[in-house]
A and B are shown apart, each in its own frame.
Chain A
Amino acid sequence: MRIIKVMSVVLCSLGIAFAAMAKDMNVGFVYVSPIGDAGYSFAHDKGRLAVEEMDGVKTAYVESVKEGPDSERVILNMARKGYDIIFATSFGYMDPMLKVAKQFPNTVFMHCSGFKKAENMSNYFGRMYQARYLSGMVAGAMTKSKILGYVAAFPIPEVIRGINAFTLGAQAVNPEVSVRVVWTKTWYDPATEKEAAKSLLDAGADVIAQHQDSPGPQEAAQEKGVYSIGYNSDMSTFAPKSHLTAPVWNWAPYYKQIVNQVKEGTWKAESAWPGMDAGIVKLAPFGPMVPQDVQDTVTAKQAEIASGAFKVFSGPVKDQQGAVKIADGTVANDETLLGMTWFVEGVVGTTE
């Protein structure tokens, strides 16, 4: 009798174990904007599609979720439905996600672009500034007026870091270049962003770069017959004649890695900031107007960044007032980069 009891318990638990193994892993994604925007969420969704193709993994997503209380409801709903991993890809999802994470200790929460973590919640982002440095090199090589225009969203460290990296890249190939910045205080308002690009063109800029999700600035550059640098994903379809290249996201390898870690039980909460070495950020294909020697120089630099031989923010780096911010021979640490609120020398504009 006792043997039978033990056997049945063992069989039962085996059965449960098998059932758990056979059950598909569910992965949920929460996006801040519609995925069709050729922008930020679109790039994350390409990562999701790569995860979807993995064996035994099912994915789902909710797009256009407002930051704040709405996002908490969406994340909570996913957790309740038993999703194993939830990726939330906007800064404002941080606190709502943390709240939900505390209630569901067995679910893995992944928050993009924030800085908080918990036992079961990681934060992650990519070193986009590395790709921006390269795009700055392209812009610096192509400009004739030595004025580059940069349509920027909000004066937060992420954007400022990008502008600084872009400027350093441009100065590396063209020391006299200056970068003019216009803040729009929008992430996706094509009308305002196009107008901002036009104002930079009127101020003499002949290459327009951007840190927003809409292709508005690209349109402005193409209409004026000058060059542009996209962002997020290849924006060349919007401005085929002006699009030089774009720093783009490539989330697929990272998302697949996380899903595998969770599957194997090796996942641990962390603050991840992978870059070119992991293939998370890269440059979109060059436009036909970029000369071969420029392409070669940039590609060589890309290899140096990926291998770790070259760091974008290595001293001496001066700020707008000429004060040395990163001393000669030193490399800025991540803390400096994450809290960057000053412009490097050569940027025209204010961070306020």
Chain B
Amino acid sequence: MTLEMIIPLLAATIVAGTPILYATLGEMITEKSGVLNLGVEGIMIVGGLTAFLVAHFTGSPSLAFFAAGAAGITTASLHGIVCLVFQGNQVVSGLALTILGTGFANYFGTSYVGLSAPGFQPMAVPLLADIPAIGPIFFQHDPLVYLTYILPPCLWLFFNNTRYGLGLRAVGEFPEAAAAAGLNARGYRWLGILGGGFFMGLGGAYLSLAYTHLWTNNLTAGRGWIAVALVIFAFWRPGRAVFGAYLFGGIMALQLRLQATGTQLPSSLLLMLPYGLTVFVLVLSSLGHRRTNEPAALGVNVEPAD
């Protein structure tokens, strides 16, 4: 592994981490409001299919990107209906959503497998792209990657410095108290579910618009589940989510590169690395007995006020 290989490796890390980062941030917003949504995988894949179809038929990647967000919101709203309107079990509803979303996307997407659609192409940022090392790593990607550079700080500001963000967190920690203080607890949870669904949809769109320009069954290939794990790994903090997503993306890119350079390690072991690392880090981070920042009312439904 030489220096000439390290820069492309880090650049590939950013790209591989981006779809996971979108989904992780989405799941984080939802969980901050106290709702556990295990349907990330299903929402992502519906987003990915929608983005592909819109791009294929209209030729506009930007429109496709927002359509994926809208599709994410629509799919996530099912979770909201089950958990907020009917007080259903959040775990079961989320799992059902994953199965439903995957089945839906595979069913409607079958006839589009193998077609290609216009998508986002890499676009170097003027000036910044010319900085040695930093430029090729961070600033020679597609616009959707740049969006993820601003997203986590914005989300951090939202959670800590805005009325709605603080309200969202309050509902996630202690919905009864929040309600007593005059906040509309279920309204905030809707905000968490739909807002989260939007970003999960975008994560799926990244896969079919930028990462590849193709649609295929099971395009997400388990990335939604990684996002669920990364939220825990990130202790519900946007900054750590960036770290987690890039760590995962980096290991994924690294194992392929290790193979390409002719290492003698068995490929099965290398392929296991990203997942093994996720488990390892999760264990390690919970060993410290630190405050994990988990929303106290995560997974607990809010009873209707009347």
A47 proximal to B (CB < 8 A): no
**Does residue A76 face the partner (Cβ distance < 8 Å to B)?**
no
Residue B266 at the chain A interface, CB threshold 8 Å:
yes
Q: Which of A188, A195, A205, A238 contacts B12 (CB 8 A)?
A: A195
Which B residues, 16 to 39, have Cβ-Cβ distances below 8 Å to chain A? 16
Q: Quick check: is B92 within 8 A (CB to CB) of the other chain?
A: no
Determine how close the nearest CB of chain A comes to the CB of B21; give it in whole angstroms: 15
Q: Which of A33, A188, A203 contacts B261 (CB 8 A)?
A: A203
Query: What is the chain A residue whose CB lies nearest that of B252?
Result: A195
B9 interface residue per 8 A CB criterion:
yes
The reply to whether the CB of A68 lies closer than 8 angstroms to some CB of chain B is no
Name B98-126 residues within 8 Å CB distance of A.
Answer: 106, 110-116
| Complex interface: chain B residues within 8 A of A190 (CB) | 212, 214, 216, 219
| Closest-CB distance, B133 to chain A (whole angstroms) | 15
User: Which A residues are CB-close (under 8 A) to B253?
Assistant: 195, 199
Please state if B221 and A192 are interface contacts (CB–CB under 8 Å).
yes
CA distance A183 to B256 in the complex (A): 8
**Does B288 interact with chain A (Cβ within 8 Å)?**
no
Establish whether residues A349 and B110, one from each chain, have CB atoms under 8 Å apart when the complex forms.
no
- Name the one of B12, B16, B259 contacting A182, with C-beta atoms under 8 angstroms: B259
Cα of A181 to Cα of B266 in the assembled complex, Å: 12
Q: Does A350 contact B (CB under 8 A)?
A: yes
Of the candidates B216, B261, B267, which one forms a contact with A185 in the assembled complex, judged by CB atoms under 8 Å apart? Answer: B267
* Complex Cα–Cα for A238 and B9 (A): 25
Q: Which of B242-299 contact A (CB under 8 A)?
A: 252-253, 256-257, 259-262, 264-268, 271
**Partner-binding segment picked from A4-12, A164-172, A213-221, A262-270:** A213-221
Known: A195-B12, A195-B253. A38 touches B216 (CB 8 A): no
A36 touching B110 in the complex, CB below 8 Å, given contacts A188-B216, A202-B9, A215-B214: yes
Contact in complex: B259, A199 (CB < 8 Å): yes
Shortest C-beta distance, A239 to chain B (Å), equals 10
Binary contact readout B186-214 vs A (1 if CB under 8 angstroms, 0 otherwise): 00000000000000000000010001111
A36 and B262 in contact, given A199-B253, A202-B257 (Cβ under 8 angstroms)? no
Give Cα distance in the complex from A33 to B268, angstroms: 24
Contact A202 B260 (CB under 8 A): yes
A149: which B residues are within 8 A, CB to CB? 260
Do the beta carbons of A191 and B219 come within 8 Å of each other?
A: yes
Main secondary structure of the interface of B (DSSP, over half): helix
A185 to nearest B CB, angstroms? Answer: 6
* A216 / chain B contacts, CB cutoff of 8 Å: 212, 214
- Counting CB contacts under 8 A, is A67 at the interface? no
The reply to whether the CB of B239 lies closer than 8 angstroms to some CB of chain A is no
Residues of B within 8 A of A63 (CB): 110
A196 at the interface (CB under 8 A from B): yes
Tell me whether B8 is interfacial, beta carbon within 8 Å: yes
- B77 contact set on A, CB distance < 8 A: none
A184 CA to B253 CA, complexed, in Å: 11
Q: Which of B126-172 contact A (CB under 8 A)?
A: none
B74: Cβ under 8 A from any A Cβ: no
Q: From residue B108, how far is it (CB to closest CB) to chain A in Å?
A: 12
Q: Does A42 contact B (CB under 8 A)?
A: yes
Q: Which residue from chain A places its CB closest to the CB of B6 in the assembled complex? A: A202
Q: Which of A2-51 contact B (CB under 8 A)?
A: 33-34, 36-39, 42
**A350–B217 touching, CB < 8 Å:** no
Are B110 and A203 touching (Cβ within 8 A)?
no
Whether the Cβ atoms of A203 and B260 lie closer than 8 Å is yes
B5 in the interface (beta carbon within 8 A): yes
Q: Which residues of A contact B219 (CB under 8 A)?
A: 189-191
Contact status A36-B112, CB under 8 Å:
yes
| CB-CB under 8 A for A34 and B259, given A64-B110, A195-B16 | no
Q: A189 with B260: in contact, given A34-B111, A64-B110 (CB under 8 Å)?
A: no
Residues of B within 8 A of A188 (CB): 216-217
> Is A293 among interface residues, defined by CB-CB distance under 8 A?
no
Q: Tell me how far the C-beta of B117 lies from the nearest C-beta in chain A, rounded to whole angstroms.
A: 12
Shortest distance from the beta carbon of B41 to any chain A beta carbon, whole Å: 14
> What is the chain A residue whose CB lies nearest that of B5?
A202
Smallest CB–CB gap between A242 and chain B, Å? Answer: 14
- Contact (Cβ within 8 A) B16 A352: no
Q: List 21 A-B contacts (CB under 8 A).
A: A36-B112, A37-B114, A149-B260, A155-B267, A182-B267, A189-B219, A190-B214, A190-B216, A192-B221, A195-B12, A195-B252, A198-B12, A199-B260, A202-B8, A202-B260, A203-B5, A205-B260, A214-B214, A215-B214, A219-B214, A352-B268
Q: Give 10 nearest A-B pairs by CB, closest first.
A: A352-B266, A348-B262, A183-B267, A199-B256, A203-B260, A190-B212, A202-B8, A38-B114, A182-B259, A199-B257
Q: Which residues of A contact B (CB under 8 A)?
A: 33-34, 36-39, 42, 63-64, 149, 155, 180-186, 188-192, 194-196, 198-200, 202-203, 205, 214-216, 219, 238, 348-350, 352
| Additional A-B contacts beyond A180-B261, A180-B262, A200-B260 (19; CB < 8 A) | A37-B216, A38-B114, A180-B260, A182-B259, A185-B267, A188-B216, A188-B217, A189-B221, A190-B216, A191-B211, A191-B219, A195-B16, A195-B252, A196-B259, A198-B256, A203-B257, A219-B212, A219-B213, A352-B267
